[in-house]
Amino acid sequence: MKRSIVRYGMVGGSLNSFIGRVHKNALNFEINAELSAGCFSSNSQNNLDTGSYYGLPSDRVYPDYREMAQRESLRNDKIDFVCIVTPNCSHYDIAKEFLLHDINVVCEKPLCSEISNAEELQKIARERGLLFAVTYAYSGYGMVKQAKQLIEEGAIGRIINVNAEYLQEWLIDSIGSSASQTAKLSGWRTDPKVSGISNCVGDIGTHIENTVAYMTGLKIKRVAAKLDYFNQPLDLNANILIDFDNGAGGVYSCSQVAVGYANGLTVRIFGTKGAIEWRQEQPNQLKVTLKGQPSAVYERGTGYITGRAAQLNRIPSGHPEGYYEAFANIYKTYLSAVLKTINGEKLLKEDMDFPKIEDGVEGVRFIHAVVKSAKNDSVWTAPDEIS
């Protein structure tokens, strides 16, 4: 009989965590996803409390992810995919464990710390025919998809320059003398043992890289970077020059010490015929300017929005869609791909419109290239040439 429900498990995502709750809420938008198992925290009480909050039977709340992968893989009603929402350093081990038990994976970014590990995960997923998503959330926004479509249709001509930034202020106290009221995230991001070789670029610079790559289809040829550490173990601020494979240039700037900014991701793409600008804090709008004409603001949910942006529209224009819907759009697409695979149906191009393991590998290469360039006095460094 044809399956209509996808069962999933979570590793990480306890009630007091950030992004696990976002994933859970986003999956709640979809009627064909059912949380069936979890290992929500390495703290046992936290783990049990979260499992019970979600109404899971106690035998499907596992004390560690290895046991979860092994025991789930033996069940007739095993989970179809696992959602990994733990801090960066654990992604590789957890993802590998589930892949080796033939369970599809959705993993948070950055995919993992080392390029060789990222490539290994890609190889295992490919060899076993498993669906692997990396939740670069911004590619899930309807207006980012509209931007991608306009660029593909040639609306702004040949891309000649990209100017993008992701500015936050939440770590300003680490270089200041007095405590402020900025919102705080989990402290592990500034710890190299948990975060990896980069904090700012690994946490938010990687989002710029992925969002621009998704919108434009351009590949980065080389980067020249300057990172600022302010006497901290990992970077808090980065200015990065980019050369793309089509000859265009770009500037990416990311910061966690930019006072006045919370989640200021802005992407501006300049072409020979026009320009496109998208801002994540006003995600329902897209600014499009054609050469010699006044700027136009495209609104999500209107009649002139077409393609994937229209397919994924959820509510009428004027009612804002946001971060949850962006994750839900990634999941809607991924769930459809998983179901079609289970039911032996052919996957269409739009079924694969979610950030994949290849994007995750590109992200890890980008982070390493930026850090390497910065360590070598900002010398131009090619992400594809480092290992």
Ligand X SMILES: NC(=O)c1ccc[n+]([C@@H]2O[C@H](COP(=O)([O-])OP(=O)(O)OC[C@H]3O[C@@H](n4cnc5c(N)ncnc54)[C@H](O)[C@@H]3O)[C@@H](O)[C@H]2O)c1
Report the interface residues with ligand X, using CB under 6 A. 11-14, 17-20, 39-43, 46, 65, 85-88, 90, 108-109, 135, 137, 185-186, 188, 203
Q: Which is nearer to ligand X, 93 or 120 (CB)?
A: 93
Q: Which is nearer to ligand X, 86 or 168 (CB)?
A: 86
Q: Which is nearer to ligand X, 138 or 244 (CB)?
A: 138
The C-alpha atoms of residue 371 and residue 368 are separated, in whole angstroms, by: 5
Shortest reach from residue 94's CB to ligand X, in Å: 7
Shortest reach from residue 26's CB to ligand X, in Å: 11
Q: Which is nearer to ligand X, 367 or 374 (CB)?
A: 367
Q: Give the CA distances from residue 115 to residues 110, 123, 151, 257, 304, in Å, rounded to whole numbers and listed in that order.
A: 11, 12, 30, 28, 42
Specify the DSSP element, H or E, that contains 320.
Answer: none
Question: 276 has which bridge partners?
Answer: 269, 288
Shortest reach from residue 371's CB to ligand X, in Å: 16
Shortest reach from residue 19's CB to ligand X, in Å: 4
Q: Which is nearer to ligand X, 21 or 221 (CB)?
A: 21
Three-state SS at 140 = helix
The C-alpha atoms of residue 185 and residue 22 are separated, in whole angstroms, by: 14
Q: Give the CA distances from residue 368 to residues 14, 134, 170, 228, 365, in Å, rounded to whole numbers and listed in that order.
A: 30, 18, 24, 16, 5
The C-alpha atoms of residue 208 and residue 168 are separated, in whole angstroms, by: 13
Specify the DSSP element, H or E, that contains 145.
Answer: helix 142-152
Of how many residues is the chain composed?
Answer: 387
Shortest reach from residue 141's CB to ligand X, in Å: 11
Q: Which is nearer to ligand X, 301 or 360 (CB)?
A: 360
The C-alpha atoms of residue 198 and residue 370 are separated, in whole angstroms, by: 9
The C-alpha atoms of residue 63 and residue 44 are separated, in whole angstroms, by: 7
Shortest reach from residue 207's CB to ligand X, in Å: 7
Shortest reach from residue 376's CB to ligand X, in Å: 26
The C-alpha atoms of residue 98 and residue 37 are separated, in whole angstroms, by: 13
Q: Which is nearer to ligand X, 121 or 305 (CB)?
A: 121
